[in-house]
Homo-oligomer: A and B are copies of this chain.
């Protein structure tokens, strides 16, 4: 791979290797309408945009979002609707999602704090045993 890797297409196996997922998983996301790779014959060809979508999906998964959640968030990034009511609805949904994410961040910070505490305990215990780090 080149440092200036702006290649047009990726194969499915390239993506499985890059992201450590299976072909089944990628096809599953396509079935769910989260990606639309183009085809050469029957073979899927993934454009940079498909790859970005995949990254987005995996990020969502790491945060514990369901496929449905991810689909919903993706839709928020498309062209905003032209009608006022729809727009206001979209904005409300965006804010809901943001709150959800901010709650997650609080959860993370708390958990990290607790891990820090647990680590300290363990380090203290190690010190008691009279060992260097």
Contacts and interface: CB of A to CB of B under 8 A. Distances in A.
Please tell me the size bucket of the interface on A.
35 or more
A84 interface: yes
Contacts of A62: 64, 103-104, 107
B107 A63 contact: yes
Given A63-B63, A64-B62, A105-B105, A73 B111 contact: yes
A38 interface: no
Interface string A85-101: 00110110011011001
A77 B118 contact: yes
Interface string A39-65: 000000000000000000001111111
A80 to B, nearest CB: 4
Contacts of A23: none
